[in-house]
Structure 1
Amino acid sequence: MNTNHSRAPADIAVSARAPARVLVVDDSMTMRALIRHALGGDPDITVVGEAANPYEAREMMKALDPDVVTLDVEMPDMNGIEFLEKIMRLRPTPVIMVSNLTAPGAAATLAALEIGAFDCIAKPGAQSNTFEALPGLVKEAARARAGLARRRDGAPRGRTAAALTPSATGPELVGIGSSTGGVEALMQVLAEFPADCPPTLIVQHLPAAFTGSFAARLDRACPAHVTEAKEGDLVRNGRVYLAPGGGRHMMLRKGVQPSIALVEDGPVCGHRPSVDVLFASIAKNFKGRMTGVILTGMGRDGAQGLLEMRNCGARTIAQDEDSSLVYGMPRVAYEIGAAEKRVPLARVARQIFA
Structure 2
Amino acid sequence: MEIKRRIKVLVVDDSAMVRKTITDTLSLDPEIEVVGVANDPLIAKEKVARLQPDVMTLDMEMPRMDGLTYLRQLQSERSVVAVVVISSITQKGSQLALEAMDAGACEVLAKPDGSTSVGTLAAKLTFHVKAAHAAKQRFRHSPKAAATPAVSFGKTNQDGVQARPGDRRLVVVGASTGGVEALRALLPALPAGLPPILVVQHIPAFFSKAVAERINALAEYEVREAVDNELILPGQCLIAPGNYHLMVVAHSGGYRTRLTQSPPVHHCRPAVDLLFRSAAAAARRHCLGVLLTGMGSDGALGMQAIREAGGINLTEHEDSCVIYGMPRAAVQLGVVDKTVTLDRMPQTILDTLSSLPA
Matches within 5 A, 1:75-154: 75-88=62-75, 90-126=78-114, 127-129=116-118, 132-133=122-123, 134-150=125-141, 153-154=144-145
- Give the conservation status (yes or no) of the 8 Å contact 1:182–1:204: yes
The partner residue of 2:53 within 57, 60, 66 is: 66
Query: Over residues 34-85 of structure 1, what are the superposed CA-to-partner deviations in whole Å (9 max), with x where a residue is unaligned?
Result: 4334434544322334344434434543444321111111134543223334
SS at match of 2:206: helix
Find the counterpart in structure 1 of residue 345 from structure 2. 348
Contact 1:113 1:181 in 2 (8 A): no
Q: Deviations over 1:250-290 (max 9, x none)?
A: 21424323332335644444444322222222222225644
Which piece of structure 1 moves more, 124-133 or 161-170?
161-170
- Inter-CA distance 260–277: structure 2 relative to 1 (3 Å threshold): same
> Which residue is equivalent to 2:214?
217
* 3-state secondary structure, aligned to 1:332: helix
The two structures, once aligned, show a CA RMSD in angstroms of 3.0
- 1:19 maps onto 2:11 in alignment: no
- Structure 2 residue corresponding to 1:282, chosen from 275, 279, 284: 279
- Percent identical across equivalent pairs? 37
Corresponding residue of 1:8: none
Question: What residue number does 2:236 align with?
Answer: 239
Q: Is the 8 A contact 1:157 1:346 kept in 2?
A: no
Cα 1:321/1:59, change in 2 over 3 Å: farther
Query: What is the distance in 2 between the residues matched to 1:220 and 1:152?
Result: 32
Contact 1:18 1:44 in 2 (8 A): yes
Q: How far did 1:18 drift? A: 1.3
Q: 1:274 to 1:135 in 2, by over 3 A?
A: closer
Task: Measure the CA separation in 1 of the matches of 2:52 and 2:74.
Answer: 12
> Is the CA contact 1:173–1:200 (under 8 Å) kept in the aligned structure 2?
yes
For residue 169 of structure 1, report the CA deviation from its aligned partner.
5.7
Inter-partner Cα distance in structure 2 for 1:44 and 1:287: 41
Look up the match of 1:306: 303
1:166 aligns with 2:158: yes
Letter paired with 2:53: P
Report the secondary structure of 2:95's partner residue: helix
Cα distance in 1, alignment partners of residues 201 and 251 from structure 2: 22
The offset of 1:141, in angstroms, is: 3.1
Pairing 1:179-198 to 2, within 5 Å after superposition: 179-198=176-195
- 2:86–2:108: 8 Å Cα contact kept in structure 1? yes
1:191–1:116 Cα change, 3 Å = farther
Tell me, yes or no, if the aligned pair for 1:115 and 1:184 is still in contact at 8 Å.
no
User: Matched residues in 2 for 1:59 and 1:323: separation?
Assistant: 34
For the 8 Å contact 1:118–1:181, the answer to whether it is kept is yes
Local SS of the residue matching 1:259? strand
Q: 1:232 to 1:343 in 2, by over 3 A?
A: same
- Residues 27-36 or 139-148, more deviating: 27-36
Secondary structure, aligned partner of 2:348: helix
Residue pair 2:80, 2:140 contacting (<8 A) in 1 also: yes
Q: Distance in 2 between matches of 1:185 and 1:84?
A: 21
> What's 1:262 paired with?
259
Matched residue, 1:3: none
Structure 1 stretches lacking a partner, 5+ long: 1-12
Counterpart Cα distance in 1 of 2:286 and 2:269: 27
**How many residues are matched?**
341
Judged with a 3 Å threshold, the aligned counterparts in structure 2 of structure 1 residues 256 and 216 are, in CA distance, closer, same or farther, namely same
One-letter amino acid of the structure 2 residue matched with residue 138 of structure 1: V
Give TM-score, length-normalised by structure 2. 0.82
SS of match in other structure, 1:138? helix
Of residues 297-306 and 281-290 in structure 1, the stretch that sits farther from structure 2 once superposed is 281-290
Maintained 8 Å contact 1:147/1:322: no
Contact 2:108 2:203 in 1 (8 A): no
Equivalent position amino acid for 1:137 in 2: H
- Which blocks of at least 5 consecutive residues in structure 2 are unaligned? 164-168, 352-358
